[in-house]
A and B are shown apart, each in its own frame.
Chain A
């Protein structure tokens, strides 16, 4: 049989999806289709997917079976805008949509050659634009509640205007046994002198596949921070690409993950320092238990002439079980000489002596371990400036060990 005629893995997946209701230009459609045509899912032979196998995606039935979400909790307690996206679609009755763009004459086209982004465009279920203007300093929380086994394709545009300050909470909550396919593309624009923080919580159902991409552009004198917390889910993959286009920028990337069961978590981050005088700091820490797998790939690019860059990158893992595995790949690619760049990666276990110390003071082995893990992840949580997010994640970590 002619090989071209066989169904590719993307073709199989697409038979279960219904096309977007949002208008897309013919040009964008053909661009996206070209990326999906005759294409299979990325295999281990592709460097960026060396440790992550997404073939299980096609085992998802996506039949709409529902299971109740115990507590569709919003994280931010303070007065903030909240938008509820229930099973991929914006719930207008539960959301405060003033000043948030949700209807489109035409969806912007894909910006990078990525098959999953092309899929996101063609099957987009919700397109949301958040804009932060100077003097507002507001917090917007997007709450994604997944109660049905379905595929959701949110496309999020975040624009932080000149000198504005803003906080976005992306809160993904899935029912316990939920088996959805979440595919999110987020486009972030941080203008001059702006300050934007994004907090992302991924508390998905145990069978959910969550593939997300963030494309960030930073202009001069801006600050951008992103905190990622993959807490549960069958598979979580985050591709974070930050272009630092202006000088005097600061970029912070933090992540904490607690994995157990069969979950697989993959964080890919890229910071591209294109101009001089910038600072970036990355810290990802996590604990891996049961048969879970963690992948970390951090890339720091320092382009030619981007002098006086200080870039730090760190990844630390604690492996708690015989069956778990950790893959870490911190990379530096540097083309300028007057820079200070460093990275570190460690993998190990809890310190026996520390456990002994705590036990000798009357703590049970379990609580001693819990305390040490909390302290270990605490370093990441200290970097989180939003009180609500921090206490929520702390609570979740506690719950993680009590169940």
Chain B
């Protein structure tokens, strides 16, 4: 790839329909460090929120004060000091680099491998170019199309202002503010996020992604997503960024709530690639996320996740199968390298009759990392003829990493069928030998085998996402041959 100089960049800028210019310091105001009721009031005032939302935040904060940080997960980290965090910072698209040349070459290389366009690369690294320009038109054209169908897709703050009745009716109904330590923290201090509503019987014609929604580009550490699929509707929602955004924020505590009403279907895909820390395990993001979906009669929620980033991941996308005949699915690939730790899995709560759930989890540990699957399958008394199938495989790449499985299976109905199986092993020598014998280098061979191993999950991802995820896997495992 040719060098991209500041001059060329300036030339590019001149040629474009330049609306907003460089991001200035206007928006970068922050509030005092620390957390107390005044801070929460301040956040609420800044966001011009209605009083019910402020009350909700304060209730959550008071509940949070009484909670203790969970310690049951198989992870070790230094607990964040909640009094040293700034809970409201202006959007992060402030310029980070003066020119493209200042960008870390390692990162440039990674992005080149991912096949990201130069424009996109500049946007992701936050080079002093306003990334808004290019996508704004795209976004607006999509937005008008969505509007025609009655689909609401906007930032959470926008939704609070424009559709308060919808937000108020559904927010916190799936993950109450008292749910857990991080969910309570999020409920108290969340700054923004996404909101999505699909009306009755509408099939969303495109994959909704935060990528298209410009103002979500820099949502903070505490984001909140609420997706409501009304009766008989369908939506596929993509979350996360696929490029290695060097986010220095130490703590991400997001909350995602999905509600699939009668006959609705939500497909939620995540590719998470936050900064995993350096090779010695210094730095990196703590990713403590609460995700849960509720299925009414005949509804379906499918979670697909590819987790390659973050120093510590603590994440259990769950499905509450409340309605009869509802379906929950969980497909996950979690890759850890160097000193990363992941404790991730799912919960499938079967309440309704004839409910079905499938769990496919593929863990890959390399370097000195630890990768755990922790899942719960719970069949309640009335969940007649429920069915669960779980498969959790772990692949170990070196002799100093760890792979663990902690499945909880609880059954209270005699007509339920539950199957769980898990395996742990390393890449077969014979498979490697076979590839190498045909002239494929060891690194390529491993990437090939790992991709095959994850195929079951990657197949669930939307097309473009799957391609990037595959490349991401290869990058994450680079140099991990042990």
Residues on A lying within 8 angstroms of B by beta carbon are 47, 51, 304-305, 307, 317, 319-322, 324-349
Q: Residue-by-residue, is B418-441 near A (CB-CB < 8 Å gives 1, otherwise 0)?
A: 111111111000000000000000
Which residues of chain B have C-beta atoms less than 8 A from A321's C-beta?
Answer: 414
Q: For the complex, what is the distance from the CA of A349 to the CA of B414, rounded to whole Å?
A: 6
From the candidates B401, B418, B422, name the one contacting A332 in the complex (CB within 8 A). B422
Task: Write the nearest CB–CB distance from A355 to chain B, whole angstroms.
Answer: 14
Which residues of chain A have C-beta atoms less than 8 A from B411's C-beta?
Answer: 317, 319, 325-328, 347
Contact A319 B414 (CB under 8 A): yes
Nearest residue, chain A, Cβ from B409: A328
Q: For the complex, what is the distance from the CA of A332 to the CA of B424, rounded to whole Å?
A: 8
Contact B399 A307 (CB under 8 A): yes
Task: Write the nearest CB–CB distance from B209 to chain A, whole angstroms.
Answer: 36
Task: Contacts A335-B400, A349-B415 known; list 19 others, CB within 8 Å.
Answer: A317-B411, A319-B411, A324-B412, A328-B407, A328-B420, A331-B406, A331-B407, A332-B422, A334-B402, A339-B425, A340-B425, A341-B425, A342-B424, A343-B420, A343-B422, A345-B418, A345-B421, A348-B416, A348-B418
From the candidates A47, A327, A346, A349, name the one contacting B420 in the complex (CB within 8 A). A346
Task: Write the nearest CB–CB distance from A260 to chain B, whole angstroms.
Answer: 13
Q: Report 23 cross-chain contacts, Cβ distance below 8 Å, ordered by A residue.
A: A307-B399, A319-B411, A325-B410, A325-B412, A327-B408, A328-B410, A332-B403, A333-B404, A334-B394, A334-B403, A334-B424, A336-B399, A339-B426, A340-B423, A340-B424, A342-B421, A342-B424, A343-B420, A344-B421, A344-B422, A347-B416, A349-B416, A349-B417
Which 3 A-B pairs rank lowest in CB-CB distance, beginning with the nearest?
Answer: A337-B396, A328-B409, A319-B414
Which residues of chain A have C-beta atoms less than 8 A from B409's C-beta?
Answer: 326-329, 345, 347
Nearest residue, chain A, Cβ from B426: A337
Which of B410, B416, B417 lies at the interface centre, i.e. has the most chain A CB atoms within 10 A of its CB?
Answer: B410
Nearest residue, chain B, Cβ from A320: B414
Which residues of chain A have C-beta atoms less than 8 A from B414's C-beta?
Answer: 319-322, 324, 349
Q: For the complex, what is the distance from the CA of A88 to the CA of B420, rounded to whole Å?
A: 41
Q: For the complex, what is the distance from the CA of A334 to the CA of B402, rounded to whole Å?
A: 5
B451 at the interface (CB under 8 A from A): no
Which residues of chain A have C-beta atoms less than 8 A from B290's C-beta?
Answer: none
B143 at the interface (CB under 8 A from A): no
From the candidates A328, A334, A344, A347, name the one contacting B396 in the complex (CB within 8 A). A334
Q: For the complex, what is the distance from the CA of A317 to the CA of B418, rounded to whole Å?
A: 10
B413 at the interface (CB under 8 A from A): yes
Which residues of chain A have C-beta atoms less than 8 A from B402's C-beta?
Answer: 333-335
Q: A326-B409, A329-B408, A337-B396 are in contact. Are A319 and B416 (CB under 8 A)?
A: yes
Which residues of chain B have C-beta atoms less than 8 A from A337's C-beta?
Answer: 396-399, 401, 426, 482
Task: Write the nearest CB–CB distance from A71 to chain B, whole angstroms.
Answer: 33
Which of A334, A338, A340, A343 lies at the interface centre, i.e. has the most chain B CB atoms within 10 A of its CB?
Answer: A334
Which residues of chain B have C-beta atoms less than 8 A from A341's C-beta?
Answer: 423-425
Contact B404 A332 (CB under 8 A): yes
Task: Write the nearest CB–CB distance from B387 to chain A, whole angstroms.
Answer: 10
Q: For the complex, what is the distance from the CA of A324 to the CA of B25, rounded to whole Å?
A: 64
B72 at the interface (CB under 8 A from A): yes
Contact B424 A339 (CB under 8 A): yes
Q: For the complex, what is the distance from the CA of A324 to the CA of B403, rounded to whole Å?
A: 33
Which residues of chain B have C-beta atoms less than 8 A from A348's C-beta?
Answer: 416-418
Task: Write the nearest CB–CB distance from A328 to chain B, whole angstroms.
Answer: 4
Q: A305-B399, A331-B406 are in contact. Are A346 and B413 (CB under 8 A)?
A: no
Q: For the complex, what is the distance from the CA of A47 to the CA of B74, rounded to whole Å?
A: 13
Task: Write the nearest CB–CB distance from B181 to chain A, whole angstroms.
Answer: 15
B308 at the interface (CB under 8 A from A): no
From the candidates A320, A326, A339, A342, name the one contacting B422 in the complex (CB within 8 A). A342
Q: For the complex, what is the distance from the CA of A29 to the CA of B66, rounded to whole Å?
A: 38
Nearest residue, chain A, Cβ from B405: A332
Which residues of chain A have C-beta atoms less than 8 A from B397's C-beta?
Answer: 337
Task: Write the nearest CB–CB distance from B382 to chain A, whole angstroms.
Answer: 10
Q: For the complex, what is the distance from the CA of A234 to the CA of B424, rounded to whole Å?
A: 37
Which residues of chain A have C-beta atoms less than 8 A from B72's C-beta?
Answer: 47
Q: For the complex, what is the distance from the CA of A331 to the CA of B408, rounded to whole Å?
A: 9
Which residues of chain B have C-beta atoms less than 8 A from A329's C-beta?
Answer: 406-409
Q: A321-B414, A335-B402, A337-B397 are in contact. Are A330 and B423 (CB under 8 A)?
A: no
Task: Write the nearest CB–CB distance from B96 to chain A, whole angstroms.
Answer: 39
Nearest residue, chain A, Cβ from B414: A319
Which residues of chain A have C-beta atoms less than 8 A from B423's C-beta?
Answer: 340-342
Which residues of chain B have C-beta atoms less than 8 A from A47's C-beta?
Answer: 72
Q: A334-B402, A337-B396, A345-B407 are in contact. Are A322 and B422 (CB under 8 A)?
A: no
Q: For the complex, what is the distance from the CA of A326 to the CA of B416, rounded to whole Å?
A: 11
Nearest residue, chain B, Cβ from A307: B399
Contact B413 A319 (CB under 8 A): yes
